[in-house]
Amino acid sequence: MKENKECKIAQDLLPNYIEKLTNEETNKFIEEHLKNCEDCKKNYDDMKESLNKNNKNKEKKKVNFLKKYKNKLRILEIILLIIIVAFVVNTGRKVYIITDLNNKAEKYINSTNYHKIVYSLDKGNYTKSEVYSLDNKKKIILTTLTEDGKKEVVTIYGTKIGNAPDTPYAMVEPPIGIYKQNVYKETETEKTVTLNLESEIAVEPQKAFYGIENIKQLIVCAITSSINKTTYDGNKCYYVSGMPSILLNSSMYVNKDTGLAISLMASEYENPDGERGRVAGAEYKYEFGTVTEDDFIEPDISEYKIEDANDYINQ
Ligand SMILES: [Zn+2]
């Protein structure tokens, strides 16, 4: 009877004893009882074993969860790595293309014999400007067709007499030249000529990416722009878009062989002082080595009314 009562107490205390929640006195009582009672000892062993199993399962679940978590993290790391590699490779590709095109253009922008034609449409005025350049001589033919159908042809014969001082943010390179010029103007009603005018002319071929001055700007341009292979007017070229607005020509077609822009989209830009400007859309055609002295023979001056150079400047 006594044994039975002790067993009951022992059974009640066993779970807490296994979890080590019982006090020293209770521990002594249970340990003494387990020594003498086989039933309770067996019960105790079973309970302990089942608890151990339970704990092991819990541990296993924890390990499995950690493994899954680690795998997911691994996949994320790989995806991130792929994105970074693709970004670096793509930026590198664009840096290479821009540098290559600018190197190719170098040969042409310093050419002393070229014929350049620019067609542009700006605010309803259609303009064709044609430049013949041979050493220090230039002939420029500007044909303007206004919205109301008026046509004007201005032909300039110029001889270079010096370089203009550098202007900040000049959107041209090489430096602007000062030319002594005879300017022939022809409208439907009159023909006039102004002789020996001195003014600046900036018509040299320009690199498509002429605003890029250092490696930082080059990388920024490569990151922000998209550059895709295509053809334009039968020429192999790149379509470039999304260039930073500080540069001109935010969208353009660039000839793959010459590095010169052959078509510009109309765009706006901002110079480092925050002033906004606008470039009209334009088409460019170039020929090199085809200009001769014959292109600079001036027309018979007797057909033209001679105007004073000072009046021309005041116009
Ligand atoms: Zn017992």
pLDDT band at residue 164 using 50, 70 and 90 as cut-offs: confident
Contact 86, 181 (CB under 8 A): no
pTM for the full model? 0.69
The tokens for 143 are: 């044909």
Distance 55 CA to ligand 1 centre (A): 26
Name which residue leads in pLDDT, 312 or 254: 254
CA–CA distance, 159 with 175 (Å, rounded to integer): 15
CA–CA distance, 246 with 102 (Å, rounded to integer): 18
The answer for residues whose C-beta is within 8 angstroms of residue 261's C-beta and 6 or more apart is 206, 208, 249, 252, 253, 254, 255, 284
Contact 263, 252 (CB under 8 A): yes
pLDDT at residue number 313: 55
The answer for residues whose C-beta is within 8 angstroms of residue 115's C-beta and 6 or more apart is 130, 131, 132, 133, 286, 287, 288, 290, 291
pLDDT in tens, 114-125: 999 999 888 778
Name which residue leads in pLDDT, 20 or 3: 20
pLDDT at residue number 2: 55
Q: How many CB atoms lie within 10 A of CB 194?
A: 21
Establish whether the linkage from the previous residue to 272 is cis, with ω within 30° of 0: no
CA–CA distance, 99 with 212 (Å, rounded to integer): 10
Judge whether residue 314 has pLDDT over 60.
no
Mean pLDDT of 144-150: 87
Distance 61 CA to ligand 1 centre (A): 36
Distance 11 CA to ligand 1 centre (A): 8
Distance 49 CA to ligand 1 centre (A): 18
Mean pLDDT of 218-223: 90
CA–CA distance, 264 with 209 (Å, rounded to integer): 12
The tokens for 160 are: 């270079």
pLDDT at residue number 173: 52
Strands (E), 59-176: 113-122, 125-134, 137-145, 151-163
**69-73, 157-161, 189-193, 209-213: the lowest-pLDDT one:** 209-213
Distance 22 CA to ligand 1 centre (A): 18
pLDDT at residue number 201: 82
The tokens for 156 are: 């300039």
pLDDT at residue number 89: 96
22: DSSP letter: S
Distance 147 CA to ligand 1 centre (A): 114
pLDDT at residue number 85: 97
Judge whether residue 169 has pLDDT over 70.
no
Neighbours of ion ligand 1 (CB under 5 A): 7, 37, 40
- CA 184 centroid distance within chain: 43
Distance 35 CA to ligand 1 centre (A): 9
pLDDT band at residue 55 using 50, 70 and 90 as cut-offs: confident
Q: How many CB atoms lie within 10 A of CB 179?
A: 23
Mean pLDDT of 62-77: 89
Judge whether residue 1 has pLDDT over 50.
no
